[in-house]
């Protein structure tokens, strides 16, 4: 995992890449999570999450009674907005 600060208008950016090859299975995972907020501010925060997973499972490597061989790719994306309103500032403000 690699973390970058200040990349493409994001406060923090995390990249995750994992590629492996085992007995009868090849797979890859690519992930990204970025948090966007104003400089020197706590809130609001936008969080963007994207991940892609790919697997190629050979028929010879598995028991076909329990698993299905072949290629599969799965993608996931999410955008989250988090804002905490300071409700006490209204009462103490003159």
Rg value, the chain, Cα: 21
Q: Which residues 6+ apart lie within 8 Å of 58 measured at CB?
A: 24, 25, 69
Query: What is the residue-level pLDDT of the chain in tens, covering all 94 positions?
Result: 788 888 888 889 999 999 999 878 899 999 999 999 877 777 788 999 999 999 998 988 888 888 888 999 999 999 999 887 665 555 554 4
What confidence score (pLDDT) does residue 86 get? 61
What confidence score (pLDDT) does residue 44 get? 82
- Distance CA(50)–CA(2), nearest Å, equals 15
* pTM > 0.85: yes or no: no
What confidence score (pLDDT) does residue 85 get? 67
- Distance CA(20)–CA(60), nearest Å, equals 18
β-pair partners for 46: 36, 81
What confidence score (pLDDT) does residue 87 get? 56
- Distance CA(49)–CA(32), nearest Å, equals 6
- Distance CA(79)–CA(87), nearest Å, equals 25
């Amino acid at each position: 995992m690699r973390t970058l600060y200040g990349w493409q208008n994001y406060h923090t950016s995390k990249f995750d890449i994992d590629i492996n090859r085992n007995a009868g299975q090849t797979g890859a995972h690519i992930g990204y999570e970025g948090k966007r907020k104003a400089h020197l501010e706590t809130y609001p925060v936008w969080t963007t999450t994207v991940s892609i997973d790919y697997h190629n499972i050979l028929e010879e490597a598995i028991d076909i009674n329990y698993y299905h061989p072949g290629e599969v790719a799965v993608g996931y994306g999410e955008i989250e907005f988090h804002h905490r309103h300071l409700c006490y500032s209204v009462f103490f403000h003159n």
